[in-house]
Structure 1
């Protein structure tokens, strides 16, 4: 039995509302935790995503924003001595972003703060894996 289009549209609207609500809760959580460290949400997101050396373009992709926006955030983090730009080892045209020792320490503090009362912490690890898989499937364009 197929679902009538009207009911399907209602179900999709409700699901989109839930996903949007979760995204808003996560964004608020990041903003609150970032503020305790004297960071903006964008700076916290950049630090969270800096799991190792990467180019500006790679960081922009991880942050889901334009490289020009990432440049602004990285400039601020560089002024705070949290990130350095180094020559890329294989691409003379690119710079590689690297966390300083202070950046690594602040990132660790940030990750610890983000783990406390996270909007996803109510889900068991298996439930988080299932949710991740479903969201990845939904996000991939056919």
Structure 2
């Protein structure tokens, strides 16, 4: 038998979820606009962000990181390569494979993408104590179903 529910708590939780979704949509909108200004789509920006400039990566590993089909990664890498941000090179560890290497331009654009992805202007109105509380609550809520990358860097 399910425990009884508190209608006020349920309404409060529902409103909170809607607010979180609104914040996420606002963040996504700002990021999409900024990323477009760099000549990237949200998908290509995410792919570039996942690549470590100091460690070439096979496309199949990038597909795993992005949790998408390898054929989608091929199209993303094609766009990044056409923009001069990534090169496909023979993988020295397995000459049958190509590794994705971030170019010098790719490094610069990747740094800008990382700044865009951490843009916090929506939080400017919060005092430091409020921001710390929000971070703590977000961490507490996200810890239950968040992918590994949610942990501190």
Asked if TM exceeds 0.5, the reply is yes
- Kindly provide the CA deviation profile for residues 22-54 of structure 1, in whole angstroms up to 9, marking residues without a partner as x: 543343232111111121111111122223422
- Kindly provide the CA deviation profile for residues 70-128 of structure 1, in whole angstroms up to 9, marking residues without a partner as x: 11111011011110112223334432111000100111122223333365776746854
| Aligned counterpart in structure 2 of residue 105 of structure 1, from 103, 108, 111 | 108
Corresponding residue for 1:25? 26
Corresponding pairs, count: 139
SS of the residue corresponding to residue 68 of structure 2 reads coil
Is 1:40 the counterpart of 2:48? The answer is no
Distance 2:90 2:139 in 1: 35
| 5+ residue gaps, structure 2 | 148-153
SS of the residue corresponding to residue 39 of structure 2 reads coil
Is 1:2 the counterpart of 2:9? The answer is no
Change (3 A) 1:9 1:35: same
User: Looking at both structures, which has the greater relative contact order when contacts are Cα pairs under 8 Å and sequence separation is at least 6?
Assistant: 1
Aligned Cα RMSD in Å? 3.3
Query: What TM-score, normalized by structure 2, do the two folds share?
Result: 0.66
| 5+ residue gaps, structure 1 | none
Distance 1:90 1:7 in 2: 59
Change (3 A) 1:130 1:8: closer
Corresponding residue for 1:84? 87
Distance 2:121 2:39 in 1: 19
